[in-house]
Structures are given as structure tokens and as C-alpha cells.
Amino acid sequence: MQAAAACGAGTTCAKIGLSRGVGVEDDLAQTPEVIVRAARPAAAVPACLLAWLLPGAGHLYLRRTGKGLVLMGAIVSMFVLGVLLDARLQPYLGFDDPLAILRSLAQMAMGVPYFVARALGVDAGQVVSVTHEYGNTFTEVGGLLNILVILDAFDTAMGRKDTGA
Amino acid sequence: MMASHLLNLTIFSAVVSTVFAMLLRPDTRSRVRFGLLAFGGFMAAALVVGWIMYPFPL
């Protein structure tokens, strides 16, 4: 009953003990219980889209509330700090510096926060600022981390990674 | 704003460690343990490499 309540409506779930290679009875007595949810393949695409639009939103959609909130707080705060550190968000175009295109794509992986920052006009950055490169690094790594979060949301929806709240 | 290299390094390490811990470990206890280890690893590696690079004028 407790596990079913934790999983929420629309999913099938059960509680099991983690195996550590010892006796089953020892497992049940010593290891933490982990909630295992059934796969929701139909939720994979919307979860990935939401995860791209707002970091952590895909996990919230999949009812991994705690995990989603922590990921959202960490990644969005990293991006905001990067903008405050005078990062350049305007995309690099052309092939004179191909690696710069990849850096711009990494920033775009942040989703809505990236486009909101651009719409607010804080995207030019200040190349003379002492923290300019720090800002670039924060915004780019934030986007790259969000790509990992999107992939994790996909694996979670497909039932390949069904532990953790 | 925030021109301190060490402060930026600390914030960066904390955020990346937190995300890695959330993605790579299934329960709270192992997440905290992994996060602290990753954070310590980031900080220690950066400080050690920084000291090693200190004599080189590059």
C-alpha cells in the first residue's frame, strides 16, 4: 500500500530490497527499500521535451519529484550564475570557429531559460569582464548537464532506470 | 562580480557533483556519499593541478 501510494496513479510499482550478494533474509533486513515503477514508454517523448524546456521538468512529469526539483535548482542556478558572470549567449555562426558552434549548441540545450535570457537582452556578454570565461563555462556546462538529465528522463520512462525518487 | 577563482571553482564543483550524484545513484544515502566524494575530488584535483602548473609561465 505504501509503495502504491508513493508511485501515484497510473503506474504499477512494488517495493523490493537491493541485493548485495548475501542471503535474502539479510538483504531484506539490512538494505534500503527501493521503489520500482513500471515502464511508461508513451511518456518518454513528452518527458524528454519537458526536460529540455526546463531542466528537471521531465522528472517531475514522471513523478520523480525530489530528483526533478534538485536537478532543476542545480542546473537553472548554474545557468543564472553564468549569465550574471557576463556569459555570451548569442550563437556563433559560420565555420571559422567550429568549436564555438558546439559551445552555442550546449547553451541552447538549457531550453527556456536560455531563450528567456536572450529575450531579456542579457545575451551579449562582456568579453572584457574578468568573469566572462567563467560565465561561458557555467552556461555551457549547465546545458551539457541538461542533456544528461534528458537522457536520464528517457531511461526512466523506458523502465531502464527505475530507482530513486 | 565573483572574481574569486576559488569561489567559482567551489560553486561549479558543488553543482556538477550534485547533478552527477542525482543521476548516478539511486538512494539518498549513496547520493550524499557520491556527491561529497565527487566534490572533494573536483576541489583536490583542481588545487593539485593548480600548484603543479604554478612554476610554468605559460
pLDDT tens digit string along B4-57? Answer: 889 999 999 999 999 999 999 999 999 999 999 999 999 999 999 989 988 887
* Nearest Cα to Cα of residue A162 among A3, A31, A1: A3
Q: Are strands A33-37 and A13-17 parallel, antiparallel or unpaired?
A: antiparallel
Beta bridge partners of A37: A13
Q: Is residue B58 part of a domain?
A: no
A37 confidence band (pLDDT: 50, 70, 90) = low
pLDDT surpassing 90 at residue A80: yes
Q: Is residue B25 part of a domain?
A: yes
**Rounded CA gap, A16 and A30, in Å?**
12
Q: Give chain A's contact residues with B (Cβ, < 8 Å).
A: 32, 34, 67, 70-71, 74-75, 77-78, 81, 84-85, 130-131, 134, 137-138, 141, 145, 148-149, 152, 163-164
Q: Is A165 exposed, middle or buried (0-12, 13-18, 19+ CB in 10 A)?
A: middle
Domain with B34, as residue range(s), is 5-53
Residue B19 is nearest to which of A32, A145, A164, comparing CB atoms?
A: A145
Distance from CA of A95 to the nearest CA of B (A): 28
pLDDT in tens, A91-109: 888 788 888 899 999 999 9
Q: Is residue B31 part of a domain?
A: yes
Distance from CA of A163 to the nearest CA of B (A): 5
As for the ipTM of the complex, it is: 0.88
Decide: B35 and B18 in contact? Cβ < 8 Å.
yes
B1 confidence band (pLDDT: 50, 70, 90) = low
A36 confidence band (pLDDT: 50, 70, 90) = low
Q: Is residue B29 part of a domain?
A: yes
Domain count, chain B: 1
Q: Is residue B11 part of a domain?
A: yes
Choose from A30, A62, A134 for mutation: most chain B CBs within 10 A. Answer: A134
Q: Is residue B44 part of a domain?
A: yes
pLDDT in tens, A109-133: 999 999 999 999 888 888 888 889 9
Q: Give chain B's contact residues with A (Cβ, < 8 Å).
A: 1-3, 8, 11-12, 15-16, 18-19, 22-23, 25-27, 29
**The model's pTM:** 0.80
